[in-house]
Amino acid sequence: MAGNWKMHLTAPEGVALAHALVSRGATSPGTVVLVCPPFPALDAVGKALAGGDILLGAQNLHPEAHGPFTGEVSGPMLTAVGCRLVLVGHSERRHGMGESDEVVARKLRAALAHDLVPIVCVGETLAQREANQTESVLAEQIGAAYRELSREAVQATVVAYEPVWAIGTGRVATAEQARDAHRSIRGALERTAGAGLGERVAILYGGSVNAGNAAALFAEDDVDGALVGGASLDPDGFRAIVDSASRAHRG
């Protein structure tokens, strides 16, 4: 269960939200919960979460460990402030900031090289879905990201399916659409990375997840969790989503 705070909250505001999540016990048995604050809040939020069960993640990283890359943040910088995971190839990076499949693949490898678990984001646009290209788009993105990775490396990653048409729009894929896309991703992992790996990688759904639709999504066996955007800024709403995941896991 990952909360992506995007470009919201100053460091003090992030600390307040972190304290609210901790006070509400925003973890549940059988779930791994993390939050991804903006870069300036990482250190303060990490300290607020220290010693608890909520993990710290980042929203992005540069493929290189250091160098003349003004405005960028590297893997070693993230691990130094306590990050355990990092988003790679979020749809807003791919489609809003021009990140190619090649760049996403490099970032995936940079995350692994610096002991960060990459959450690799893939997904189709509305035009691609309406053209019945969802499966081919997912296969292409998974292939580019995972090609020539070792089995061990593949198992150290997480995938997030983000239908681009559902990001921040209030629209959400039906449980059946999410299930079918997740199955396509598992198949693409099998073909790209090796037999058996499709079932060994957790796949999250990300696309306007909220407390009202979470239970139906988590009822699908192929949906292992969620990458939550706006709803993760509400501690009660995020806790409700985590609880839905925990109930599905126990069921």
The residues that are catalytic are 90, 162
Residues near 62 by beta carbon (within 8 Å), at least 6 away in sequence:
69, 72, 73, 74, 75, 107, 110
